[in-house]
Each structure stands twice: as structure tokens, then as C-alpha cells.
Amino acid sequence: MNKVVAGADEAIRDINDGAVLMLGGFGLCGIPENCIASLVKKGVKNLTCISNNAGVDDFGIGLMLQNKQVKKMISSYVGENAEFERQLLSGELEVELIPQGTLATRCMAAGYGMPAIYTPAGAGTEVAIGKETRNFNGKDYLLEYAFDADFAIVKAWKGDTDGNLVFKETARNFNPLMAMAGKITIAEVEELVPAGELDPNLIHTPGIYVHRIFQGVNYEKRIEQRTIRKKL
């Protein structure tokens, strides 16, 4: 199976209106910038996006929100995006806010082939409304279902032609979990090397999970909030 594709446009070629997408990254770190740009260019609509956050107004998933491509956003943090706020308050955008650990574990469950998990996060709060609750050893747990995503789109530091991936620092948060969980996983990497060149002991995502891979270009690597110390 040849997993290498020419670029982002080819990698997302069969993502159509109404698709459910997982998009890796944490804040603006480790987001699949090239694939997002191609999705914006393609103009697909009515997407459900599962991501830790919704980007910022002019970058990341924020570009898709500006283009009115997202029907529903499933996230744990959305505080840096004014357009997201506007669409939420106007009723244009469906939003499911869930605890960050629950988001991660629902990704993991999908990757492991588990239909659901029980978690104490959100028990006794508005998060629990309409959900099955069970008590284990005197503590309430919510039933949360594994995600069912058509595509997982991730960004890695290095990858090889067999699809093995290595993530760097903060980008290792959601990317490996999502890479396991999509029906089709697309990986863009900063450096693509021949199979066998990566140290097997350092591989975070085995190539068996990855269906398409390409070397990305022109990464901006923005900082979501830059905080600096005052000059003494």
C-alpha cells in the first residue's frame, strides 16, 4: 500500500460535505495547517469538527469557521475565537463542550475499538443531562460514547513512507490519540523520510493507523497567546 500522496489537496480529496473530522493539535501547536488550508480552498460544508479547540479568528480551524464550513464543533476549549463566539450566540453553530480528559478518552476509545467509556468527569453537572449514570464503589460515572469520525487529520514532526509518526513536545497531546481513531487517517509531517530511518523506539504512532502521508510546507507555527516577562 503506497501511503505517500503529493500534498494536502490530494490527501483531503474525498472529504465531502457533512463529513465528521478529527483535527489534531493543542491550541495552535501541532495543528494540520496544510490540510486545513486545503479544506478551506475546497469549500466543503456542514462539517462536524472534533478538536481540542477552535483555533483563532484568522488561523487554524478559525479559517473554516470564517468560511462557514463548520456545522458542529466538539471541543474542550474555545476561548480565543471571536467568530466562534458570534456563531454560537447567533445559533449558527452547534457546539458540544466536553471536559478535556473526556475528549481525549473518547478519542482513545475509538482507536482501541471500545464503543464507550465510563468517566467521573461531569457527573452531577449539566454535562450529565440525558446521559446514563452508573455508580461504581460509591462514585457516579457517566457513560460517554467513543467518537465515530470519518477522517482523522494530524500533524507530526517526522514520518516515514510507511506512515510511522513521531510527534514533538506539545503536539503529542491529541495527535497520537486521533491518529488511531479515524476511519481514514491523514498525516502531514514536517519531514518525510524513507521507511527504516526512524528509530523504532521513538515512534509514537505505528504506520498501521495511517492511510495517507505527505510532507507539509510553509508552517507558520503561531503562538496562541504570547506572554513575555516585563523588562527589569
Least confident piece of the model among 19-23, 80-84, 186-190, 222-226:
222-226
Residue at grid coordinates 460509591 = 138
Nearest 5°: phi and psi at 61?
-60, -20
Grid cell in block for residue 132: 446514563
Sign, Cα dihedral of 222, 206, 163, 159: positive
Dihedral Cα 97, 156, 184, 92, nearest 10 deg: 30
pLDDT tens by residue, 25-62: 998 889 999 999 999 999 999 999 999 988 888 899 99
Exposure of 66 in the CB half-sphere (CA atoms within 13 A): 16
pLDDT at 221 over 90: no
* Amino acid code (one letter) for 188: E
Whole-number average pLDDT of the chain: 93
Residue 65: CB atoms within 10 Å: 25
Q: What pLDDT shows up at residue 140?
A: 96
* Rounded alpha-carbon distances, angstroms, from residue 198 to 3, 28, 64, 134, 207: 16, 26, 34, 45, 12
Q: What pLDDT shows up at residue 189?
A: 97
CA–CA distance, 211 with 92 (Å, rounded to integer): 33
Q: Collect all residues with Cβ–Cβ distance below 8 Å to 61 and sequence separation of at least 6.
A: 23, 31, 36, 49, 51, 53, 54, 55, 70, 73
pLDDT at 1 over 80: no
CA–CA distance, 218 with 76 (Å, rounded to integer): 28
pLDDT tens by residue, 108-164: 999 999 999 999 999 999 889 999 999 999 999 999 999 999 999 999 999 999 999
Least confident piece of the model among 28-42, 92-106, 136-150, 215-229:
215-229
Q: Identify the structural domains of the chain with CATH numbers, from first to last.
A: 8-117+147-215 (3.40.1080.10)
Task: Answer whether 216's CB lies under 8 Å from 190's CB.
Answer: yes
Q: What pLDDT shows up at residue 27?
A: 84
Q: Across the chain, which distance is largest between two alpha carbons, in Å?
A: 58
What pTM does this model have? Answer: 0.91
Q: What pLDDT shows up at residue 39?
A: 97
Grid cell in block for residue 150: 470519518
**Partners of 116 in the β-ladder:** 145
